[in-house]
Amino acid sequence: MKHSEVNHFEDRGTSLFHRVAERPIYRFSRWMTLVSALALIIIMVVTSADVLMRRFLNKPITGSLEISTSLLIVVIFCCVAWVMTEKGHIIVDIFSDRYPKKVREVITSIALFLSMITVGLICWGSINFGLQQYRIGEVTVLIGLPVAPFIFVLAFGSGLFGLVILIQFINTFIRSKED
């Protein structure tokens, strides 16, 4: 097992919830970071080539901005779930650290619940918008890159993010019952 898996799973043992839901989703979210990294590498190559071609050949890459902005969706939404599994999001705990543990658990549960609803709405809205863009055949202006696949990546990534939030929401109740 990798070091990050040990941190996530060492205290949960082999419960059914852990084996069926948490472990596969956390592992899949980690694999999605490879997709994110690949998209980031492509953005770097396209942007660097565009700058060099503009500077030395006076011929920039047509549509490089469209490619980069479209791939940025892949970069962000393919890794956001993994960032949540690593607890890498910014948390403002300037006041919550002063509360007793039970109060902090309630605040965390409320925050996770509200986050789950928000991310679920983003996922649902993205699916609807992606279907609409697919039906009308929306493409980018310069190179005719289809827009719908990138919106579906947004929906998929936010859906995976929502699943990770749901798992952490359930884990807060599991931990509170164990205490």
- Domain count within the chain: 1
The pLDDT tens digits of the residues spanning 42-98 come to 999 999 999 999 999 999 999 999 999 999 999 999 999 999 999 888 777 777 778
Q: Please state, for a pLDDT cut of 90, what percent of the chain lies above it.
A: 69
> Which residues, other chains included, contact 75 with Cβ-Cβ below 8 Å and sequence gap of 6+?
36, 39, 40, 43
- Token pair 């990294």 in the structure block, residue: 37
Residue 128 has pLDDT above 50, yes or no: yes
Domain carrying residue 67: 3-178
> Which residues, other chains included, contact 136 with Cβ-Cβ below 8 Å and sequence gap of 6+?
none
Average pLDDT score over residue span 13-35 = 85
